[in-house]
Structure 1
Amino acid sequence: MKQHDLVVIGAGPGGYVAAIRAAQLGMNVACIEKEGALGGTCLRVGCIPSKALLEASELFRQAKTSFSEFGIGVGEVSLDLPTMQKRKDNIVAGLCKGIEGLFRKNKITRYFGHGRIVAPGQVVVEGDQPEEISARHIIIATGSKSSPLRGVAVDGDRIATSTEALSFPEVPEHLVVIGAGVIGLELGCVWSRLGAKVTVVEYLDRILPGMDGEIVAEAQKTFQKQGLEFRLGRRVTGARVEGKQVFVECEGEQPLACDRVLLAVGRIPNTDNLGLDTVNVGVDQRGRIIVDEHYATTIPGIYAIGDVIAGPMLAHKAEEEGIACAELLAGKYGHVNYDAIPGVVYTEPEIASVGKTEEELKAAGMPYRKGSFPFMANARAKALGHTGGRVKILAHTETDRILGVHIIGPRAGDMIAEAVVAIEFGATSEDIARSSHAHPTLAEVMKEAALAVDGRTIHM
């Protein structure tokens, strides 16, 4: 039986980062992954390939609609979808190879196959290269998978999940997206830019549940101007394929005909056949593994991080947990501040958020002040030609500590980092307002929003 100090099951963002940090701290580490490429859903069929398509499709849209405003004539613009897909695949392959190199650098043993816990401290690898492994510690980092929806049977072709929607062989004539969350909107925008008619059907009466309502309302208006159609407050009861057509059935309405469907109603923990029942690892009603503040499960020596436990299903959240868990196992101090985990929607404009929303503060009875500043009044945004959106800062009325920051606008995903650091260090809106921000930059909008909390904006 092979022996290690730590075995990590899953090589996604949480798993491979935990393995690397543990190896840095002197542990003999192994990682079990059933897919040939390392990196998990995020790298292989999620965050990275979708961002490659989002970037390419946005450039395509701009070339058709707005390059002329910059004095750039490009003639007739055409789409080469196979080349766009090949670029995406090359980016993914290169990053996956990079993780292999990091494993070699940190002397991490990689096992190929499905990991299953058969007893505390004991894991078997099932597949073409079976192994039996013993370890002092086991970290479960197996991520998540697309949530099913009753009545909608995914066939991987006409009715797809996000995985298949990254590689449609042609641009759909009419794509129906079931679910108005981050994944549905991002991929809906990709195919809309490339020429598809896109209809987004959502059970709730709003898009992007959990994000700040004021920012979301502005986002929806922008997406509608870009051509997305929203049917909110609709309950999808089924979808059937007839030849090359799909009919999506909504309660109380005529079926909606299209040629492809993307099912994007969320994700669920990927814990199938891990042996949780065998060793009596506790799970909650939603199938998430129960852990304490040290990521320990109900069974000594077994830990869990990332999408398989409670909290936002985000790659960077899993990474932080992986590092914290590895450091705790090494006897060091590991901690994650869940009030400082950002969320980003990589549409155009981007949407980014950290901390509490205005709705959450009102529900909690928390006294707050609000400051907001538009990109329209920012010189760099005008130079870029992206002037839609705003930065919104929520600060405690008495202490002025920043409680939440919400951005819709150009490069919001990059700009939110300043707000994350501010919340992490307990900064106030005055701290940001008094800090010099380079001119001309988009970051100046953050400074002006901080000034707006106290009603003293300079440029508006």
Structure 2
Amino acid sequence: MKLERTKVLIVGAGPGGYVCAIRCGQMGLDTLVVEAKALGGTCLNVGCIPSKALIHAANEFHKICDAPAGPLGISTSGANIDLLRTVAWKDGIIRKLTDGVGGLLKKANVRTIQGHASMIDGKTVEIATEAEVLRITCDNLVIATGSRPSELPNLPFGGRVISSTQALELTERPEHLVIVGGGYIGLEIGTAFAKLGSKVTIIEAEDRILPRYDAELSKPVAARLSKLGVAVHTNVKAKRQSEDGLIIETANGERNIPCDKILVVVGRQPVLDTPGLEALGLDMQGRYLKIDSKCETSMRGVYAVGDVTGEPMLAHRAMAQGQLVAGLLAGQNASWDKRSIPAVCFTDPEVVSVGLSPQSAPGTKVSVFPLSGNGRSMTLERSDGFVRFVTNVENELVLGIQAVGAGISELAGQFSLAIEMGATLTDIAATIHAHPTLGESVQEAALKGLGHALHA
């Protein structure tokens, strides 16, 4: 068995792991990262990036198909999509990005090993590669093993029942796709396949889609789904497969929905089955590893970042935690503050939420500007949605910003910056925004909160 030593050993090369590794390397720390599958983790390989590629292809196809029915005077003689080529294009993007991550790790002098890790103790990890078994000792261990799709006991993955990973690998569009779960993953994929021509049905156990967001944010999304022909059933439970589809339980009893694919997207679970990890006896918080404000677990010198540490399971949260840990290991003094983490649903229209919502901050001031008053939205033929501020009544401090609208995700950084910098309504209202842009709606929402909106 080959023995090696390193200052920092990172298990998992997803967004949290590889960002932590790059930053450690940049600061001169001897760093090694081990990954069992592909660099980039879930987000780059089977999550964020491939899903957005599919969404883009679906949007472009839908524009062509829908153009003759619109008011722009565009006519087409018909359109078709070769999903096999689309998937090949998507896979090409993934290869470029994974190669890029490898190049960045190499540039930062980080050693990478592809293999399966087993924890011996908090300072020692064995790595089984195709060629050999390595035993690595380290001063600091970072656990960044990510998450995987959750299964339903009555609908295990296999055959007709697929996960989000498998949905993004389909080379033929399903004639009828039933989606169990009305959260953001199910709606993103469902909307894409509806635009590609599939019949789509969404099953949600709660009383509305996007149950983690407030009803005002989900209304425009629900309206768009209806326009696209997507059937949405709420307060309904998926029971079991039938010979030709899915049995659901409604208030009026059981019903069969014939379909050729059942996509189950009911959340994700942390990957904590690395051999030897349980024996470390790390404190847990529910099903996640418990960490402190410095992302350190209950064992000194053992850190955890990303999805294994809990909600929100977002790549940018993992990246921020990875950078924090790297800084701490290099001697910096920092602690975790997650007040301004943006959450984005790449639905149609898109949804962004940063900071506090009106429901989570009673007694605050709420100001809303509709995108129907924004010139840029009108030229894009998509004026459904709004921008909303939640502010402190006494000092105008911005506590939260939410928005729903086509292309609104590109404003998420501005929203986060406003909260991170402690902006007030006056700060935002007094900032000149370019015309005509979607960003003007942010300024208008702030002006409205001050009582003198110009276009509403």
> TM-score scaled by structure 1?
0.95
Q: Any idea what the Cα deviations from partners look like across 1:304-343, whole Å, max 9, x if unmatched?
A: 0100002200000000000001111111033443110001
Letter in 1 for 2:334: G
Contact kept in structure 1, 2:220 and 2:349, CA below 8 Å: no
- Give yes or no for the alignment of 1:349 onto 2:352: no
Contact kept in structure 1, 2:239 and 2:246, CA below 8 Å: no
Aligned-residue offset at 1:390: 0.9
Aligned-residue offset at 1:375: 1.5
CA separation in 1, counterparts of 2:404 and 2:428? 19
Large movers: runs of 4+ above 3 Å: 67-74
Aligned-residue offset at 1:274: 4.1
Which of these residues, 134, 139, 146, is aligned with residue 136 of structure 1?
139
Contact kept in structure 2, 1:153 and 1:239, CA below 8 Å: no
Contact kept in structure 2, 1:49 and 1:88, CA below 8 Å: yes
Contact kept in structure 2, 1:235 and 1:250, CA below 8 Å: yes
Worse overlay, 76-85 or 272-281: 272-281
Aligned-residue offset at 1:239: 2.5
Aligned-residue offset at 1:276: 2.1
- Give yes or no for the alignment of 1:385 onto 2:384: no
Contact kept in structure 2, 1:150 and 1:237, CA below 8 Å: no
Aligned-residue offset at 1:222: 2.1
Aligned pairs for 1:56-455 within 5 A: 56-66=57-67, 69-129=71-131, 130-155=133-158, 157-240=159-242, 242=243, 245-250=244-249, 252-285=253-286, 287-362=287-362, 367-455=363-451
Letter in 2 for 1:59: E
Aligned-residue offset at 1:270: 0.6
Contact kept in structure 2, 1:324 and 1:333, CA below 8 Å: no
Contact kept in structure 1, 2:58 and 2:196, CA below 8 Å: yes
Contact kept in structure 1, 2:6 and 2:137, CA below 8 Å: yes
Letter in 1 for 2:322: G
Q: Residue 124 of structure 1 aligns to a residue in which SS?
A: strand
Contact kept in structure 2, 1:370 and 1:453, CA below 8 Å: yes
CA separation in 2, counterparts of 1:413 and 1:112? 34
CA separation in 2, counterparts of 1:137 and 1:435? 45
Contact kept in structure 2, 1:297 and 1:303, CA below 8 Å: yes
CA RMSD of aligned residues (A): 1.4
CA separation in 1, counterparts of 2:344 and 2:309? 20
CA separation in 1, counterparts of 2:270 and 2:220? 32
Q: Any idea what the Cα deviations from partners look like across 1:388-445, whole Å, max 9, x if unmatched?
A: 1111111111121111111111221111211100100111122111111011111000
Aligned-residue offset at 1:147: 0.9
CA separation in 2, counterparts of 1:277 and 1:183? 30
Contact kept in structure 1, 2:295 and 2:336, CA below 8 Å: no
Q: Any idea what the Cα deviations from partners look like across 1:115-163, whole Å, max 9, x if unmatched?
A: 12111210111242421101100100010011111201110x4100000
Contact kept in structure 2, 1:175 and 1:259, CA below 8 Å: yes
Contact kept in structure 1, 2:24 and 2:31, CA below 8 Å: yes
Worse overlay, 425-434 or 212-221: 212-221
Contact kept in structure 1, 2:238 and 2:246, CA below 8 Å: no
Equivalent pairs counted in the alignment come to 450
Contact kept in structure 1, 2:236 and 2:248, CA below 8 Å: no
Contact kept in structure 1, 2:221 and 2:347, CA below 8 Å: no
